Amino acid sequence: MVVRLVPPSEILVANGVTLRRWRTGDARALCDVVRASLSHLRPWMPWATDGYDIDDARAFLTHSVETWDAGQDFQYAVVLGARRVVGSIGLMSRIGPGALEIGYWVDVRHTGQGIATRATAAVSAAGLAVPGIGYVEIRHDPANAASAAVPNRLGYRRVDDTVDADGRPSWAWRLSGDDLAASRVPDALGQRRFR
């Protein structure tokens, strides 16, 4: 049985970074940022191939709209300023009931600026606010040090070393709703905490 989740907000603000639901009209912006970052993405993202084109971007966006509307996955454009798309981040229901997996990437021209960390903090909090979700998880190739730095920086706990469906090794990091307040997610979102 497929469970339909209550979607998070279509716009999230993360301390200077805006996340907004992808729209079908974003194909050119998505294609351009992926093409500019292919050498950066190719080792980690099987879909990041030299042939990536506007049709691939349109297919991703169509799928994103359909899965959002179905209450399954929630994909966001990562935007700086008023309109500049610099990456993508999403909450995906593929790891089973009560959990959402977070996947992200940032344009190579904008890495090292804390964008992935702030965006991940925003979707972590939003995902944990979805009714029925007890934890969020990030999975990545162990060799991808940049991806490992994000959950580590936010206070996620490394829980598993696995092999994914494609035969690639994977590390899993988890943040539960009970651990959210004590994590560094509020700090990354610019929220003051009193201890």
Domain presence at residue 5: no
Amino acid, res. 68: W
Domain presence at residue 130: yes
Domain presence at residue 4: no
pLDDT in tens, the chain (195 residues): 467 899 999 999 988 899 999 999 999 999 999 999 999 999 899 999 999 999 999 999 999 999 999 999 999 999 998 789 999 999 999 998 999 999 999 999 999 999 999 999 999 999 999 999 999 999 999 999 999 999 999 999 999 888 877 788 889 999 999 999 999 999 998 875 544
Alpha helices in the chain (DSSP H): 27-36, 38-41, 54-69, 115-128, 145-154, 185-188
Q: Please state, in angstroms and rounded to a whole number, the distance separating the CA atoms of residues 161 and 171.
A: 5
pLDDT in tens, 174-192: 999 999 999 999 999 887 5
Domain presence at residue 1: no
In contact, 138 and 144? CB cutoff 8 Å: no
Estimate the share of the chain in helix, then strand, then coil, as percent rounded to the nearest 5. 35, 30, 35
The residues, ordered by sequence, that sit 6+ positions from 163 with a Cβ below 8 Å of its Cβ are 169, 170
Domain presence at residue 3: no
Q: How many domains does the chain have?
A: 1
CA torsion sign for 88, 127, 170, 72 is negative
Domain harbouring 79, CATH code? 3.40.630.30
Domain that includes residue 124, residue range: 11-188
Per-residue H/E/C for 129-147: CCCCCCEEEEEECCCCHHH
pLDDT in tens, 45-56: 999 999 999 999
